Amino acid sequence: MGVFSLTLRNWEKKGLIKAFRTPGGHRRFKKSELDKILGIEAKDNRLKESIERLKEANVKDSHQEKLNELIKELKDIFGEL
């Protein structure tokens, strides 16, 4: 899947995914759990890119203030991605 083990442990610690243990004590994750979190991460990345494009948008002065408010609101909603 291409996810570092430290990232998986951090996600588990945050409660984003659940691990189960093998008899030898190794962590294992269900593919469905990983698919879910990777989908969320992909959406976060798309949101970050959209916010950056909004920042770069060249609009008329009358709309710039509204655009800046929208950018701030999106950042607030998603915790300053």
To which H or E segment does residue 3 belong? Answer: none
State the residue for tokens 């998986």.
8
The answer to whether residue 1 scores a pLDDT higher than 70 is no
Strands (E), 1-81: 19-21, 27-29
The answer to whether residue 59 scores a pLDDT higher than 80 is no
Strand partners, 19: 29
Percent of the chain with pLDDT over 70: 95
Between 55 and 80, residue with greater pLDDT: 55
* pLDDT tens, position by position, 18-39: 899 999 999 998 888 887 877 7
What is the rounded average pLDDT for all residues in the chain?
A: 81
